[in-house]
Every structure is written in C-alpha cells, then in structure tokens.
Amino acid sequence: MRIAPFWPLAAATFVIGVAATFYFNEYYFVAGYLVLQGLIMATAWNILGGFTGYVNFGSAGFFAMGAYTSVVLYTAINPPLFVVIPAAAVVCGLLGLGAGYLTLRLRGVYFAIATLAMAIVLETLMVNWEYVGGAIGAFIITEDVPFFASYNAYLFVLMLALAIGSVALARYLNFSRIGRGLAAIRDDEVAAECAGVPTLRLKLISTTVMGAMMGVAGALYPYFVTFVEPVSAFSLIVAVNAIAMPMIGGTSTWVGPVIGALLLGSVQEWTKVNISSELNLLIVGVLLVGFVALAPQGIVGLAQKFAAWTREQREKRRGDDSATA
C-alpha cells in the first residue's frame, strides 16, 4: 500500500519540533506557539468556511470558551492537561452544535451574524461570572515539567502535536465522503439537498468539529499567558486571523490555511517585534481585504494559476519549435 507523503512529513515535523526545543531560546517557542495557535484556528475556521461555505465571525468566542473551560477546571480541581484539552473540545463542540442548530436552517448570513453577536454575549457572561475572575481576570500557576527545557517549550510541543492532529483531521474531512458532501453544500445547497445529501446533518458535523477544534486551540491559552481576562481572551484579532489566514492561503483545500497561517503568523510575529503591534493589526486587515478582493483563491490559487501558465508557455514554445523545424 502506498503511504501519502503527508504522514512521514507530519512525523518529521514533530520530531524536528521536539528536537528544536533543546537548541533555540525561549522567544522562538513563544512566537512558534502563537503561529501554531493561529494555524489550528485557521484550519478549524476553514472546515466550515472553506469546505462548507458558511462564515463564522465568532471564532474568538469559541477560542475564549476553550480558554475559560481551562480556567473553570483549573479553579475547581486543577486536572492534568490531557483532561483539560478534551473537556474544552467537548464544551466548544456543543457550543458550535447549538449555534448551528439554531441558525443553520436559515440563510448563511444569519449564521454569520449570530456567531458575531454570540461572541459578544459570551464575553458579557464571562465579565459577570465571578468564579472565573469576572472583569478582573484569573491567574493560572504552572508547575515545572520534567524532560522539557521550560514550560513554554512543553506547551509548544503540545501545540505542535495538536496542530498536526487538526491538520490531519481537516485533510481527512477534505477527502472523505463528508468532505464531498460539504463541497456540494458550498457549491449549491439546494441541488445538494435534492441529490440526497443530508445537508443539515453535514453542516452540524462541520460546525461541531470547528467549535471543538477552536476550543482545543484556546484550552492551552491560560497556561501559556498564565493570566486570563475577558478582553484579551475575546480579542477581535483572534477572529480576524482565523478568517484572514485561510483567505490568504486559499480556502478550497486543507493546505490553504496551513500556508496562510505559517506565512501570516510569521509576518505578524516579525512586525510585532520589529515595527509595532498596532501596525501589525493594520497589515492583517489590509492583507485580508486585498486578498479577498484581488486573489479570491488565495496563495494556493495563485500557485495553481502560475503552474497552469508556465505549462501553457512551455507547450506554446514547443509548438513554435516544431513549427520552425
């Protein structure tokens, strides 16, 4: 049986990532962690946005609910991380299912508006909930872990594993029967329904997976920053990045968000340090609008177009050669 090059590549990435924690200094893991966080968010957004064609503006809400699940568990019993992560996935998966169930039977735009407003209401809830610190915020105290150089290195490796898992899941959804059903919904929902595609069930699967994945991305956030308060957890930049990364990379396949996240994430970390963090936000916004308007298929689409163009040129040249001969 032939193994897709994806798996050895994923394994190699993970091994290199783990090895790197022993050679580079702390800054790279902090930056790398943030890039990976963006990558998971982008991959999750794209399952609904790119594969199914429904826009989620409330990514920050799902992310923050993942983070707050961690805070609640930490305050209550402080369980190990391998309990926290699945718990966040379940909470946010259910949140996605609920939001989808209430609004996905209507036109897609209502879902988009509902998710946007939902993020704001969830923020209000967290501000009013004393148990998780309310508006003041909550502290998380982390303990040292064996084997790893530092706690951040440990979180980076965890995040790397989660990111690879997320991409693998998105890749599976992309190629599976479910993925074909989702693509059918994106292209023409009525036609898909008529052809016997269970549209509502597939849409609900895809919102649930999206929510769960975003929850996972947020679950480690309290441990990473060690202090959570509503304004930074529900930050708009999380939602903007989740949309901008797939849009810039290309939304139609699982590869797009990965490329977009690695590129945009790295650019952001670079500008934050070398220019300013406000300008960094402006760059993200301008890139998003620019790509959406001028290159709707993203970088993947541009690359495909370029490949087609060079092939055409080559064929034309061959045609010229044979004509002159």
Measured from the Cβ of residue 11, the count of other Cβ atoms closer than 10 Å reads 11
CA proximity to 150, closest of 247, 61, 319, 30: 30
The phi, psi pair for 145, rounded to 5°, reads -115, 145
- Closer residue to other proteins in complex, CB, 138/244: 244
Most distant CA pair in the chain: distance in Å? 83
The tokens for 72 are 């609640």
| Rounded Cα–Cα distance for residues 78 and 135 (Å) | 21
CA proximity to 75, closest of 130, 37, 121: 130
- Closer residue to other proteins in complex, CB, 71/242: 242
Among 4, 9, 19, 120, binds other proteins (CB under 8 A): 120
Please report how many Cα atoms fall inside a 13 Å half-sphere around the Cα of residue 272, on the Cβ side: 13
What is the separation of C-alpha 45 from the centre of its chain, rounded to a whole number of angstroms? 5
The pattern of x and - marking residues 33 through 52 that bind other proteins according to CB under 8 A reads ----------------x---
Supply the minimum distance, in Å, between the C-beta of residue 215 and other proteins.
20
Supply the minimum distance, in Å, between the C-beta of residue 78 and other proteins.
28
3-state secondary structure of 24: coil
Supply the minimum distance, in Å, between the C-beta of residue 119 and other proteins.
9
Among 9, 117, 145, 195, binds other proteins (CB under 8 A): 117
- Closer residue to other proteins in complex, CB, 91/238: 238
By CB under 8 A, tell whether 112 contacts other proteins. Answer: yes
CB 68 within 8 A of CB 133: no
Among 9, 225, 286, 307, binds other proteins (CB under 8 A): 286
By CB under 8 A, tell whether 68 contacts other proteins. Answer: no
List of residues contacting other proteins (CB under 8 A) = 49, 53, 55, 57, 102-103, 106, 108-110, 112-114, 116-118, 120-121, 124-125, 127-128, 236, 240, 243-244, 247, 251, 278-279, 281-282, 284-286, 288-289, 292-294, 296
